Amino acid sequence: MNTQTDTALSSVAPTMSTAVILAAGRGTRMKSEQPKVMHQLAGRPMLRYLLDNAAQVFDRIVVVVGPGMDDVAALAAPHAVVVQHERLGTGHAARQAAAEFGEGDVAVLYGDNPLITPGTMRALLEQRRSGDTGLALLAMEPADPARYGRVVTHNGQVTRIVEWADATAQERAIGLCNAGVLCANADDFRRWLSEIDNNNAQKEYYLGDVVARAVAQGECVRAVVAPEDELRGINSRAELAMAEACVQARLRQAAMAGGTTLIAPDTVFLCADTVLEPDTVVHPHVVFGPGVHVRRGAEIHAFSHVEGAVVGPDARIGPYARLRPGSDVGAGARVGNFVEIKATTLGAGAKASHLTYLGDTSVGSNANIGAGTITCNYDGVFKHRTEIGADSFIGSDSVLVAPVRVGDGAITAAGSVITHDVPDDAMAFGRARQSNRAEQARVFRERLKNRKEQG
């Protein structure tokens, strides 16, 4: 063993890497006042995907935002943020971050290309470090190359990027298309950015011109081919919808790989943070909003909407149920058709089987909530809670006016309006006394018919 050599090798610092994300676009074609990168995919801003994936590959992240984009800067935190005060093109945007490149390798990504996976980012970085590659870029082979810029190669090296409008018929026949993502040594990247100009119809500095600078200086430029779905740019609402479809397909595949049964996968919509434990079953046409955790063995029936809620093991939801934020359904509990719960806890085995609204309510274990029950939780100014005890029975069409407590084992008679607490094991009648008036139905109908005939 050569101790001196080993010591020298161990003292060599690993090459640093920086991802620069261009996120200053206003999204003019989105017809929106919201910055483009803040539009959501599966309940999460598109920029969040790129930040999370890049953080798995690169040592540092720098985000370029436009003036007044405080919400984008806040989302980018704690990563470095620089402002592009004048929007003079993608090359100009990358220049704004040049002082933040540091040492090592730099990759420039686009905030409206949010679906690039860590694996593809890693492949790009590895190609740059492969030995002879001065500049690496991402490319794709889409089913319809359309108006993408074409990547012209010779003997495996990229010789130039030609825009569709400038391409010959032969060049337009090339299937390899430019995705715009570049990776190079920080010093080289800074130099090439300083050399590009804006001698074009738009008077903008284009990041793609860096490729021509690298080739002109004798650098080896190589393309890393990635799937079209990963490199899909988002510039319009239609493209946002296509990207959403890609994200949903990934989420569904991940859910099924994790042990969830999706009976009709294409009809189920998930959020990026949806947690479905193994042995859960999701029926057709179910929508999950942000913040949902469905535990093992639970089943979500068709046409249910679940958001900000926990569904306990072996619980049953729906069909046509709505779980709103703050809801927690216990083990084996049942939320049936046309039942809505909000900020409500159902204990183990509790049942609200149909036609019920429970808001700001705690329901004890094994309680039964009859059809048509509602908890009146809002007085126009404040929200109030209702407590329903374990093993209690709430009769159909009961109205519980909060704040109120129904004790353990208590019963409310059907059609009752409960305004006072009900002790444990008590039965509450909160309805008016019934009186029957003979022949009055016939008299009433005849009176109405006469009024109708008289106009």
**Residue 282: in which H helix or E strand, if any?**
strand 281-282
- Please identify, among 210, 231, 252, the residue that sits at the C-terminal boundary of a domain: 231
Examine residue 241 and state whether it is found in any structural domain, yes or no.
yes
Examine residue 446 and state whether it is found in any structural domain, yes or no.
no
17 is in an annotated binding site: no
Distance CA 287, CA 249 (A): 14
Distance CA 77, CA 63 (A): 9
Closest CA to 121 of 98, 102, 97, 105: 105
Tokens of 220: 């080896």
Residues 6+ apart with CB under 8 A from 9: none
How many other C-beta atoms lie within 10 A of the C-beta of residue 434? 6
For residue 95, give its domain range: 11-231
> Across all residues in the chain, what is the average pLDDT?
93
Closest CA to 49 of 139, 94, 112: 112
Tokens of 155: 């003997």
351 is in an annotated binding site: no
Residue 326 has pLDDT above 80, yes or no: yes
Examine residue 6 and state whether it is found in any structural domain, yes or no.
no
Tokens of 49: 């995907």
CATH of the domain at 125: 3.90.550.10
Residues 6+ apart with CB under 8 A from 236: 29, 30
Examine residue 274 and state whether it is found in any structural domain, yes or no.
yes
* Mean pLDDT calculated for residue range 299-303: 98
Closest CA to 251 of 238, 241, 262: 262
Same domain, 212 and 244: no
Examine residue 325 and state whether it is found in any structural domain, yes or no.
yes
DSSP 192: H
If pLDDT is split at 50, 70 and 90, which confidence band does 5 have?
A: very low
Same domain, 208 and 257: no
Peptide bond into 78 cis (omega under 30): yes
pLDDT for the residue 321? 98
Residues 6+ apart with CB under 8 A from 454: none
Residue 173 has pLDDT above 60, yes or no: yes
Residue 336 has pLDDT above 60, yes or no: yes
Angle between helix axes 209-216 and 186-195 (nearest 10 degrees) is 110
Same domain, 391 and 314: yes
pLDDT tens sequence across 101-149: 999 999 999 999 999 999 999 999 999 998 899 999 999 999 888 888 8
Same domain, 150 and 87: yes
pLDDT for the residue 67? 94
CA of residue 289 relative to chain centroid, distance: 9
CATH of the domain at 394: 2.160.10.10
- Total domain count for the chain? 2
Examine residue 247 and state whether it is found in any structural domain, yes or no.
yes
If pLDDT is split at 50, 70 and 90, which confidence band does 14 have?
A: low
pLDDT tens sequence across 57-72: 999 999 999 999 999 9
333 is in an annotated binding site: no
* Mean pLDDT calculated for residue range 39-51: 97
Same domain, 117 and 241: no
357 is in an annotated binding site: yes
84 is in an annotated binding site: yes
Distance CA 173, CA 177 (A): 11
Examine residue 166 and state whether it is found in any structural domain, yes or no.
yes
Closest CA to 133 of 222, 214, 207: 222
- Please identify, among 215, 231, 247, the residue that sits at the C-terminal boundary of a domain: 231
pTM attached to this predicted model:
0.88
Same domain, 226 and 243: no
Does 340 or 29 have the greater pLDDT score? 340
pLDDT tens sequence across 347-393: 999 999 999 999 999 999 999 999 999 999 999 999 999 999 999 99
Same domain, 184 and 287: no
Residue 13 has pLDDT above 60, yes or no: no
Residue 15 has pLDDT above 90, yes or no: no
pLDDT for the residue 370? 98
**Residue 224: in which H helix or E strand, if any?**
strand 221-225
pLDDT tens sequence across 207-235: 999 999 999 999 999 999 999 999 988 99
Residues with catalytic annotation?
Answer: 354
Asked if 368 and 386 count as a contact pair (C-beta separation under 8 A), the reply is: no
23 is in an annotated binding site: yes
Peptide bond into 278 cis (omega under 30): no
Examine residue 433 and state whether it is found in any structural domain, yes or no.
no
pLDDT for the residue 299? 98
If pLDDT is split at 50, 70 and 90, which confidence band does 298 have?
A: very high
89 is in an annotated binding site: yes
pLDDT for the residue 146? 84
Same domain, 180 and 271: no
If pLDDT is split at 50, 70 and 90, which confidence band does 307 have?
A: very high
- Please identify, among 231, 264, 298, the residue that sits at the C-terminal boundary of a domain: 231
Same domain, 297 and 192: no
Angle between helix axes 118-128 and 46-55 (nearest 10 degrees) is 50
H/E/C letters for each residue in 121-152? HHHHHHHHCCCCCCEEEEEECCCCCCCCCEEE
49 is in an annotated binding site: no
337 is in an annotated binding site: no
